[in-house]
C-alpha cells in the first residue's frame, strides 16, 4: 500500500466503503461504473468506462487487495472501493518458457506468481491457483497455456464457474451485508 494511502487512512479512518463503481474484466482491464452504468445492469453486461490512464492504473495495482470475507478492493486514500469481478480476482499473463519449464506467470497488476494448480470451467476457460491466489489466464496467452498442459506442467481439473468463488474464497460482486 502506498504511504500516502496509509496516511489518509490514519487521518480519516471512518470513510464509508464504495460498492459497484469499479470493475475488473477477464482480460485484466479496469472499468469505472457511474450511476447511469450501474442502473443499466450488473457487470459485465454494463461495463462502464475502461480506465486507460497509466498512472491511475499503476496506483490501483499498488493498492489492490482483499478483505477477510473475499471482497477485493482498491484502497483509494481513506476509501475502500470494492471491485466487481467478471471472472476472478487475478488475471494471469504468461511468458514463454525457456529450457522446457512452465511459463512464467505474472498478475494483471505486475506481480510474479507461482502456479500451484490449474482448473477448467464449463466454458473451457483456464484458471490457475497460485501463491498469490486464484485467477483466470488471459485469452491471449492460451497458446502458451496449452503448451504447458501438453508438456505436463499443469494438469487442469474441471470445476464449474459458479463453484469457484466459494472454493477459492472470493466474491464476484461484493456488497455490504444487510446489517451494515
Task: Quote the CA–CA distance of 121 and 133 in Å, as a whole number.
Answer: 17
* Domain 3-85 CATH assignment equals 3.10.540: yes
For residues 28 and 51, the answer to whether their CB atoms sit within 8 Å is no
pLDDT score recorded for residue 45: 95
Assessment of whether the complete model's pTM goes beyond 0.75: yes
162 or 1, higher pLDDT: 162
Q: Hey, where are the domains in the chain?
A: 3-85, 90-160
Task: Quote the CA–CA distance of 87 and 27 in Å, as a whole number.
Answer: 9
Whether the per-residue pLDDT at 4 is higher than 80: the answer is no
Tell me the pLDDT band of 179, cut-offs 50, 70 and 90: low
Tens of pLDDT, residues 130-166: 999 999 999 999 999 999 999 999 999 999 999 999 9
Tens of pLDDT, residues 74-109: 998 888 999 999 999 999 999 998 888 999 999 999
Tell me the pLDDT band of 123, cut-offs 50, 70 and 90: very high
Q: For the chain, where are the alpha helices, taking DSSP H only?
A: 3-11, 35-40, 54-62, 142-150, 164-168
Give all strands (DSSP E) within 56-149, no chain letters.
64-66, 72-76, 79-85, 90-95, 104-107, 112-113, 115-120, 126-130, 134-137
Tens of pLDDT, residues 6-54: 777 677 667 788 999 999 999 999 999 999 999 999 999 999 999 999 9
Q: Please, what's the b/e burial string for 127-148 (b: 16 or more CB within 10 A of its CB; e: otherwise)?
A: bbbbebbbbbbbeebeebbebb
Amino acid at each position: 500500500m502506498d504511504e500516502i494511502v496509509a496516511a489518509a487512512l490514519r487521518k480519516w479512518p471512518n470513510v464509508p466503503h464504495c460498492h459497484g463503481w469499479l470493475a475488473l474484466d477477464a482480460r485484466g482491464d479496469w472499468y469505472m461504473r457511474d450511476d447511469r452504468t450501474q442502473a443499466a445492469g450488473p457487470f459485465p453486461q454494463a461495463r462502464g468506462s475502461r480506465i486507460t490512464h497509466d498512472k491511475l492504473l499503476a496506483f490501483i495495482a499498488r493498492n489492490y487487495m482483499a478483505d477477510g470475507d473475499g471482497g477485493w478492493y482498491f484502497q483509494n486514500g481513506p476509501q475502500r472501493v470494492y471491485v466487481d469481478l467478471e471472472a476472478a480476482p487475478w488475471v494471469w499473463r504468461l511468458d514463454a518458457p525457456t529450457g522446457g519449464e512452465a511459463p512464467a506467470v505474472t498478475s494483471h497488476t505486475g506481480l510474479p506468481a507461482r502456479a500451484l494448480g490449474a482448473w477448467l470451467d464449463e466454458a473451457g476457460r483456464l484458471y490457475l491457483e497460485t501463491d498469490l491466489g486464484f485467477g483466470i489466464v488471459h485469452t491471449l496467452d492460451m497458446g502458451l497455456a496449452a503448451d504447458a498442459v501438453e508438456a505436463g506442467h499443469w494438469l487442469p481439473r474441471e470445476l464449474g464457474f459458479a463453484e469457484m468463488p466459494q472454493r477459492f474464497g472470493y466474491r464476484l460482486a461484493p456488497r455490504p451485508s444487510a446489517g451494515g
